Amino acid sequence: MRKFLEIVCYEHHALWRRPFPAALFFLTPLLFCIFFGMIYKENTVRHIPMVIYDQDQSNLSRSLIKVYHDSERFDIKYYADTQEEMSKLLSDDKAQVGLGIPVNFSEQIKSGRSADIILLLNSSNNIFANSALVSIQENNRTFSVGLAQKLVEGAGVLPNEALHMVYPVHIGVRLLNNPTTGYTSFMLPGIVLNGLQIALLVTVTPLLSALCRRNIYGPDYSSFLLMTAKALPYWFLGLISYAVSLAGLTYLWAVPIRAQIWKLLLLGGFFIFAVIGVLYLFSAMSPDETLAVQLPLLYIMPGLLFSGLSWPLLSMRGFSKWFSSTMPITYAGDCIRDLMLAGYCPDFAYNLKMLLTVGFTAGTIAWCIFTLRRYISDKITQKMRYKQ
């Protein structure tokens, strides 16, 4: 126990005594929370630039344009005189949505025929396109129902009866857990976890590699004792960083916490354990501290893409599905979002088990490699002393 506490105290002081203390890297999750929260603070995509090409120039076409003008999702920036001008504005990224109204728009409606309008979406940025599609459908439904109601009223039907005739089926939609479909609640919890991974990567990965190269501790210190004692300060500081970042999510950006706080802290503790185990494996395999930090970047940096945070795991196949299963953030990212937004995670126990499995498996392999490298290093040292 004395040796264990000695190493823990040494590593704790090492976190703070450098010119740029390594402990400051654990501000990364909170900084990610602040900076990315500033990006996502609008929550939904608004003010999408739009171009209008109105060939009809009628009261009906102007009524349709007004529906888009009144929508927060769109900003009508341009009025084109030709189809080519509208296409050019879209291709130049000056507008993301184009609305083309044909020359006989009002005539077709008044004669009882259906009228076609043209909508062009610049899908080089899918976020604009997907947001625009949802709003376009809402706007067109609102305009069509209102217009049909007026036409039926013109035939002598009372307003309420006219509305029921043209819109007989009413769909009630209730969005659960994230009713605003906002990006803040959707993305920020996972980004905080990614920031925590990066902080651990920078601070933890040099540890075992440095011990192998310098051979500071003799055979009286077991590999298990060294690995455990050195990891403890980083695990504890990581958990504090995680808890502070959760508070930042709630108090800075109003991301709700609907689950018991102990569940979130338990998930964070298991996640940090798994990440340290994986980083120990990279550290044990690396010949020096520099490569120990560089190698895990190939594994950690794709985390947000393969973890299911932005692209659902259900849609992954083959290598991507397997690769995601090896990453700790896969078992923590969706789970922390469920806990915060829904108040529960149906796979909570499974995710904890998998985080333990990843951490123990990677840590055990790291222990084997670290022990072997220490043994070889001790033999080389003994031979050198014998020759001298």
User: What are 296-349's pLDDT values in tens digits?
Assistant: 888 888 877 888 887 788 788 888 888 888 999 999 998 999 999 989 899 999
Whether residue 323 sits in one domain with residue 189: yes
Whether residue 207 sits in one domain with residue 74: no
335 within a domain of the structure (yes/no): yes
What's the mean pLDDT when you consider all of the chain? 84
Whether residue 210 sits in one domain with residue 326: yes
Whether residue 115 sits in one domain with residue 25: no
CA dist 216 to 11, 80, 275, 377, Å?
A: 13, 74, 25, 11
Whether residue 33 sits in one domain with residue 106: no
Lowest mean pLDDT among 166-180, 181-195, 346-360: 166-180
**CA–CA dist 326, 278 (Å, integer):** 9
Tokens of residue 138, six digits:
């809402």
Whether residue 342 sits in one domain with residue 198: yes
Q: Are 241 and 30 in contact (CB under 8 A)?
A: yes
Task: Give the HSE-up count for residue 311: Cα atoms under 13 Å, Cβ half-sphere.
Answer: 11
Q: Burial-class residue 371 by CB neighbours within 10 Å (0-12, 13-18, 19+).
A: middle
DSSP string, 297-313: HHHHTTHHHHSSSSS-G
Provide the CA 295 distance to its chain's centre, in angstroms.
23
Contacts of 91 (CB under 8 A, 6+ apart): 122
Give the confidence band of 39 by pLDDT, cuts at 50, 70, 90: confident
Give the confidence band of 230 by pLDDT, cuts at 50, 70, 90: very high
Q: 119 — phi, psi (to 5°)? A: -120, 125
367 within a domain of the structure (yes/no): yes
Whether residue 10 sits in one domain with residue 60: no
123 within a domain of the structure (yes/no): yes
**pLDDT above 90 covers what percent of the chain?**
34
Average pLDDT over residues 345-372: 95
Q: Are 64 and 147 in contact (CB under 8 A)?
A: no
Please write down the HEC assignment for all residues of 59-94. HHHHHHHHHHHCCCCEEEEEECCCHHHHHHHHHCCC
306 within a domain of the structure (yes/no): yes
202 within a domain of the structure (yes/no): yes
171 within a domain of the structure (yes/no): no
Whether residue 73 sits in one domain with residue 26: no
Last residue in a domain, options 166, 199, 225: 166
Last residue in a domain, options 108, 138, 166: 166
194 within a domain of the structure (yes/no): yes
Give the confidence band of 18 by pLDDT, cuts at 50, 70, 90: confident
Whether residue 215 sits in one domain with residue 110: no
Last residue in a domain, options 166, 191, 218: 166
> pLDDT of 138-153, one tens digit each?
787 777 767 666 666 6
341 within a domain of the structure (yes/no): yes
Whether residue 91 sits in one domain with residue 206: no
Reported residue count of the chain is 388
Q: Are 142 and 180 in contact (CB under 8 A)?
A: no
Whether residue 142 sits in one domain with residue 232: no
pTM (two decimals): 0.82
Q: Which domain does 90 fall in, by range?
A: 48-166
Q: In 98-158, where does DSSP find H-type helix?
A: 105-110, 126-153
Residue 242 predicted with pLDDT over 60: yes
Q: Which of 278, 118, 272 is nearest to 199 (CA)?
A: 272
Q: How many domains does the chain have?
A: 2
Whether residue 361 sits in one domain with residue 232: yes
Q: In 125-260, where does DSSP find H-type helix?
A: 126-153, 159-166, 183-204, 206-214, 223-253
Q: What is the structure's pLDDT at 248?
A: 92
Give bridge partners of residue 97 from the DSSP assignment.
50, 121
Looking up residue 74, the CATH number of its domain turns out to be 3.40.1710.10
Contacts of 50 (CB under 8 A, 6+ apart): 68, 74, 75, 76, 77, 78, 95, 96, 97, 98, 99
